[in-house]
Amino acid sequence: MNGEAPLEVKVRHRFAQPAERVFDAWLDVRLARRFLFSTDTGEMVRCDIDPRVGGRFVMTDRRPEGDVEHTGEFLVIDRPSRLVFTFGIPAASPSVDIVTIEITPDSGGGCTLELRSEMKPEWKDYVDRAHEGWRLILANLGQALA
């Protein structure tokens, strides 16, 4: 290890739905397959979620250029406020990111979600792409919940 600190990507999004509903979507196969790692040009052909600490997820989006498999393991599940999991794309790299989701209810009945992804320093050229990807995922989550 070269001693470099991990890179951090942060994204915030406000949802009209309550914190419990937003939190649960991350662990619900029916909803997650509609927003998590899916693309406009792809088709989610696999979405397996074992929603417990130590449980894993595998999601495969079939894209024109080929299947892309996304994997991870749940490290913290504290409903409805905090979810922490690893995230990786095994075909691209054996390394994984640590993703932390914090959800805070607001006075209007909705909530604000802050997502923080810690990336390995070797992915520094992908920070902007990761930021845009997570922003799009949160926007798609909003549409899936509407």
CATH class entry, domain 7-145: alpha beta
pLDDT in tens, 89-143: 999 889 999 999 999 999 989 999 999 999 999 889 999 999 999 999 999 999 9
Q: Which amino acid is at 56?
A: R
**ω into 80 cis (within 30 of 0):** yes
> pLDDT at residue 45 above 80?
yes
Length of the chain measured in residues = 146
Domain residue ranges in the chain = 7-145
Instruction: State the Cα–Cα distance between residues 118 and 35, nearest whole angstrom.
Output: 21
Whether pTM > 0.85 for this model: the answer is: yes
Please give the pLDDT value at position 2: 57
